[in-house]
Amino acid sequence: MPQKVRIALDAMGGDVGASVVVPGAAISLSRHPDAEFLLFGKRDLIEAELARHPKLKAVSRVIHTDVAVNMEDKPSQALRRGRKTSSMWLAIDAVKKGEADVAVSAGNTGALMAMARFILHMLDGIDRPAIAAVWPTLRGESVVLDLGATIGGDARHLVALAAMGSAMASVLLNLQRPKVGFLNIGTEEIKGHEEIREAGELLRAMNLPQLEYVGFVEGDGIGRGVADVIVAEGFSGNIALKTAEGTARQISEFLRAAIGKSWLARIGYLLARRAFRELREKLDPKKSNGGVFLGLRGVVVKSHGGIDAEGFAYAVDVGYEMVRYDLLTKINQMLNRDGGTLSSVPQEAVS
């Protein structure tokens, strides 16, 4: 466990770059004073922002580059144009070289995933990465994955997602044996695609001591918190995420419109403003910002591109906690490299 958590930031990533990344890092530093930062990007822009945050400047080092990955770049374009010189590449490469413990970027998701996979490589037994994030629920929080890193996946892949998601839940949610469920169109074991039915059978048969398999979970079960970890392949996971985010914004707009309709409604709001404030906090997507790329030989966190400084700080917080509580070790323990959680799955069982 390092004395300091060293965080590499792609200071040019996202819609506005350093003007959000630097103040966001300053907010996170106030919560985690044992952090240090490497900031990659245009030196003059970064240092202008750092001048406003002397405490952050004191624990930061700036590495200059003029090259930034555009939000509209295709992953293949980003690899060609930004390879070895872009702020995104350099931040991830710092993790590979051991100069940083985690990389955080608000840049192009596809490019970030492609570069992270190319530079850091996959863990043994993991074929494809996944994006995992913390999801607010009626019971607290759950880890949901995959939120769009890859599309599709066989039963073996889904079991790997369950293992990695459980490791993340144990770190972030402080759970000894997280409850795991597969997102499906029904809770009955006969429903859903063949791959997800096979994955459920495999995980139940394994009876892993590190997690408790609770079966299939329907879409409404995510928000109800029926499981600590919800596993989906990337297509359905991404749709679930975007639907939830859109619904949260819709509810906020409905409430704002209803409050402004009459004086009586405004008076009611004043009387219940504390409850409305708590609701707004629950619905605030900034507090759930920070998707972790799981399955890599290093820790990479993706922030929303259009987030503000406060929201970016939450992504930095996630990266800090993944390092401080040793996510990679817990993933390897969950995958059981020696006993072979995944290698113990007969290949013919998933073919």
**Per-residue pLDDT tens for 70-111?**
888 888 877 777 678 899 999 999 999 999 999 999 999 889
Where in the chain are the domains?
Answer: 128-288+338-351
| Lookup: tokens for 334 | 């969950």
Residue 320's pLDDT band, with cuts at 50, 70 and 90, is very high
pLDDT recorded at residue 278: 56
- Adjacent-strand bridge partners of 36: 6
Query: What's the alpha-carbon Rg for the chain, to the nearest Å?
Result: 21
Q: Is 73 helix (H, G, I), strand (E, B) or coil?
A: coil
Band (351; pLDDT cuts 50, 70, 90)? very low
The pLDDT value recorded for residue 337 is 42
CATH architecture of 128-288+338-351: 3-Layer(aba) Sandwich (3.40)
What pLDDT shows up at residue 264? Answer: 67
C-alpha angle with apex 237: 225 to 20, nearest 5 degrees?
90
Q: Which residues contact 200 (CB under 8 A, 6 or more apart)?
A: 182, 189, 213, 215, 216
Q: Which of 160, 43, 100, 2 has its CA nearest to residue 301?
A: 100
Query: Which residue would you say has higher pLDDT here, 260 or 330?
Result: 330
Partners of 86 in beta bridges: 67
Segment 27-52 mean pLDDT: 96
The DSSP symbol for 8 reads E
Question: Which strands sit side by side in the sheet containing 291-294, from one edge to the other?
Answer: 60-64, 35-41, 5-10, 102-105, 299-302, 291-294, 130-137, 140-145, 229-231, 179-183, 212-217
